[in-house]
Structure 1
Amino acid sequence: MSAWIRMIKDEDANEALREVLDLARTPHGTVDNVMRVHSLRPSSMRGHVYLYRAALHDDTNTIPMWFQEVIASYVSMLNDCAYSLSNHWANAAHLMDDPDKAARVEKALKERRPEDEFSGGQLAMLRYAEKLTLQPGRIEEADVDAMKSAGVDDGEILEANQIIGYFNYVNRCLNGLGVTLQGDIVGYYSKDGDAS
């Protein structure tokens, strides 16, 4: 566990905090520092867990999971958030199930040239992600219309907006409190390919 503020260990948690820590547990059975950093304020952790799961892990989302993780990774790259990028790029690369494609996509995103690997609706969503992250006050209806013109429906626009908004939130929380990956298991998927 590592951050610039105190984080409470499982064994030192009171009953109320233990309940929220159990809610925040990963498939690995651990509580990642991104959630544990809220341990001094369990209600904040509870809200964060629900927001994260609604934005990125809701079964009703129709954007493919691999591309949800690409959006998350791109926002985290733009925000220079090593914590989120490490986790969500590992997930994106795993879900692509094509190391060559993953390497090309990573290079395109790092160079801020998503058009090298994406087109259509996916490219429109990545351009929206970049502008909303770096120039939020300059977003206009035309940015949303560009996604619609590329075939992205309103529900998927909302999904993309929520993923982008969530990662801008969490990147700032992590960077602002000096949260590191120390003690975390990176990525959602186990080595054998299943969520664990």
Structure 2
Amino acid sequence: MAWIKEIDYNESKGKLRKIYDRIKGPGEYIDNILKVHSLRPYSLEGHMALYKYVLHNSTNETPVHFLEALGVYVSMLNGCSYCVDHHYQGMRRLLKDDERAEKINSALKNDRPGEVFSLNESAVFTYAKKLTLSPSKMEEEDVVKLRNADLSDGEILEINQVVSYFCYANRTVLGLGVSTDGDILGLSPNDQTDEGNWSHS
């Protein structure tokens, strides 16, 4: 459900049906955050390409569960419960450690990532918070701090893109009233070896 018209799978046709067939989950299920793009299939295609390549790319050096945790944190900062709920479940599934996942969730809710992440990992959350809440105040020193935390420039780019993607996704959800009603939480395009595989499982 959202504040604008959406087209369900069984009502879709043409380009939209082709994209839906690429991204659908069990029982022809489509995430609400994706369905909200249905009036403009090219917008849906762009969203999925960005999401897959930024968060679920086999060449990323940053572990996917860490990127999911970063997405949860950015979504908390932006007040986007939809993305928090979805990506917490994705992180939990990837970690395969419910106790660890809950500790991470609690620490992020309390804005204390240092309780569950190393000093170097915590530097990523400091960068993410500033980029999310005060983007115009970013300066080169913010990147230098990540290098000093042993991140390569490629890893810094990965972090930057994940933070930026979640700010985009959060604003899509919040600006169009997307809810989790009827959603299956935590599904994602898990085949990282095939860039063209967008199916959710």
Task: Give the TM-score normalised by the residue count of structure 2.
Answer: 0.89
CA gap 1:99/1:81 in 2 versus in 1, 3 angstroms? same
Is the alpha carbon distance of 1:16 and 1:99 closer, same or farther for their aligned partners in structure 2, counting shifts above 3 Å?
closer
Match of 1:192 in 2: none
Q: Give the Å deviation of 1:49.
A: 0.7
Q: Does 1:65 align with 2:26?
A: no
Q: Which residue of 2 aligns with 1:184?
A: 183
Gaps of 5+ in 1: 190-194
- Secondary structure of the corresponding residue to residue 155 of structure 1: helix
What aligned pairs does 1:52-91 form with structure 2 within 5 A after superposition? 52-91=51-90
Measure the CA separation in 2 of the matches of 1:74 and 1:28. 30
In structure 2, what residue type is equivalent to 1:153? Answer: S
Equivalent pairs, count: 190
Corresponding residue number in structure 1 for 2:195: none
Distance 2:92 2:83 in 1: 14
Tell me, what secondary structure is at the counterpart of 1:34?
helix
Q: How big is the shift at 1:122? A: 1.3
- Report the residue type matching 1:24 in the other structure: I
Q: Distance in 2 between matches of 1:27 and 1:147?
A: 39
Change in 2 beyond 3 A, CA 1:180/1:138: same
Alpha-carbon distance in 1 for matches of 2:37, 2:120: 36
What is the TM-score normalised by the length of structure 1? 0.91
The sequence identity of aligned pairs, in percent, is 43
Aligned to 1:164: 163
Q: Which amino acid aligns with 1:170?
A: A
Aligned to 2:117: 118
Report the CA distance between 1:16 and its aligned residue: 1.8
Q: Structure 1: which amino acid aligns with 2:178?
A: V
Q: 1:105 & 1:152 partners in 2: Cα distance?
A: 21
CA RMSD of aligned residues (A): 1.5
Change (3 A) 1:13 1:29: closer
